[in-house]
Amino acid sequence: MGIFSGVMALPLAGIADPLQPFPGSTYVSAEFNDADSFQVRLKDGDQVEVIRLYFVDSPETSLSSESDRRRVLEQARYFGLEDPRDVIDFGKDAREFMEKQLKKPFTVYTAFARAQGRSQKPRIYAMVKTDEGADLATLLVENGLARAKGIGR
């Protein structure tokens, strides 16, 4: 018996549900949207979901709580912004970039895992591929509008 012979007997509780693709999804504008958490209409009907991108953290677009203030201070340090208030403007730039990427229908991949976090709005984790086949999270990081951080898949 090899060193890993007992591994196959372990329960598979840590294995995530498979991602379901929703091609033809569309962006839904909302006041609370930012570059890494926003509303989408899934193509398979009128179902609207708030999705939270796996793998990235983009700058905040508002300061509505003490938790937001702490997060903005952390993001200011990470992105090298001397004035934490500049994070909000930077977050709005990131949101604008995301909205441009999602002007045309795109594909959402999700297993409907809950991504509540600090938000009071129900959210689910997802990945998004643009109409050109690019990963939205990767585009945000490559363009300096998000950092690789958060929940992975």
Chain segment 63-90, per-residue pLDDT in tens = 877 888 888 999 999 989 988 889 999 9
Identify the DSSP state of 44. T
- Interacting residues of 130 by C-beta distance below 8 A, sequence separation 6+: 101, 102, 104, 106, 136, 139
Taken in order of first residue, the domains within the chain and their CATH numbers are 20-148 (2.40.50.90)
Average of pLDDT values for 127-151? 93
- In the predicted structure, residue 12 carries a pLDDT above the cut 50: no
Q: What whole-number distance in Å separates Cα of residue 85 and Cα of residue 123?
A: 26
| pTM, rounded to two decimals | 0.83
Q: Please say whether the beta carbons of 48 and 28 come within 8 A.
A: yes
Residue tagged 């895992």 (tokens): 113
Please give the structure tokens belonging to residue 125. Answer: 């984790």
- Residue 8 dihedral angles phi and psi, to the nearest 5°: -65, -20
- In the predicted structure, residue 152 carries a pLDDT above the cut 90: no
State residue 43's pLDDT score. 83
